[in-house]
Amino acid sequence: MKPAVMLIVMLLFAAGLPGGTALSSDGNELQGWGPDDPYNRHFDNAAIEKTRGWVVGFKFERPLPGMSPATIMMVDDGTGLIAVHICPAWFARPEDVGVRVGDRVKIKGCRAVVGGKRVFMAAKIKKDGFHEFKVRLTKNGKPFWTFSLEEVVREFSDTTAGGTGR
C-alpha cells in the first residue's frame, strides 16, 4: 500500500470508522447528503462541464431544508458570480479545499437548480494546474462523503499507483 493511502486508512481507523460506513462524523450530518437523497439527484453526470474564474469568497448554506450546511465557493467567471457547491461543511471547510480568495480556479461539475437557486455542483476543483481537490467521481458523480472505507482505499490506491484516478 502506498504511503498516502496508508495515512488515509490510519486516519480513518483512528477516527473509529468501520468499513462500510459513510464518511460523516455522525448520522445526522449525512441527512440530506446521501447518494440517493434529493440534493445528490441534482448532479447530472451526463451534463458535466468545466468553468473557471476567480474565487471571491466562501459561505455556508443549507442547500435544501433539513440538510446540514454546504461549503460553497463564490466564483466570478467574468460574466457574474457562480455559487459553487463543493460538499457538506462537515466533510471539508474552505481551508481544506486548498484555494483562497483571489485564486484562479478551474472547476469540473454540472449546473443545477437546487432549492430554486442556480448553482454549480463541483466534482473537482483545480488551481495552478497542479493542486486538485476532488469531491465526486467524474465517471458517475458519486460523492466522496458517501464512500465506505473500502471505496476510499480503492480510489486512492488507483490514483497513487498510476491508475485511472477516475
How far apart (Å, rounded) are the C-alpha atoms in residues 142 and 146? 8
Q: For residue 158, is pLDDT > 50?
A: yes
Higher pLDDT, 36 or 85: 85
CA 29 to CA 119: how far, in whole Å? 21
pLDDT confidence tier of residue 139, bands split at 50, 70 and 90: confident
In the chain the domains, ranked by start, together with CATH numbers, are 1-21+148-166 (no CATH), 29-141 (2.40.50.140)
**What pLDDT is attached to residue 159?**
53
pLDDT at residue 56 above 90? yes
pLDDT for res 70: 96
Compute how many other C-beta atoms are within 10 angstroms of the C-beta atom of residue 166: 14
Nearest-angstrom CA–CA distance, 43 and 33 = 12
Band the pLDDT of 35: cuts 50, 70, 90: confident
Confidence at residue 149, expressed as pLDDT on a 0 to 100 scale: 86
| C-alpha count within 13 angstroms, C-beta hemisphere, residue 144 | 21
This prediction's pTM: 0.79
Which of 14-18, 67-71, 88-92, 138-142 comes out lowest in average pLDDT?
14-18
Question: What confidence tens digit (pLDDT) does each residue in 87-132 have?
Answer: 999 999 999 999 999 999 999 999 999 999 999 999 999 998 789 9
Q: How far from the centroid of its chain's Cα atoms is residue 132's Cα?
A: 11
Higher pLDDT, 46 or 159: 46
Most confident segment among 6-15, 20-29, 34-43: 34-43
- For all residues of the chain together, what is the average pLDDT? 82
pLDDT at 51: 96
For the beta carbon of residue 79, count every other beta carbon within 10 angstroms: 7
Q: Is the pLDDT of residue 13 over 80?
A: no
CA angle 94, 50, 109 (to 5 degrees): 60
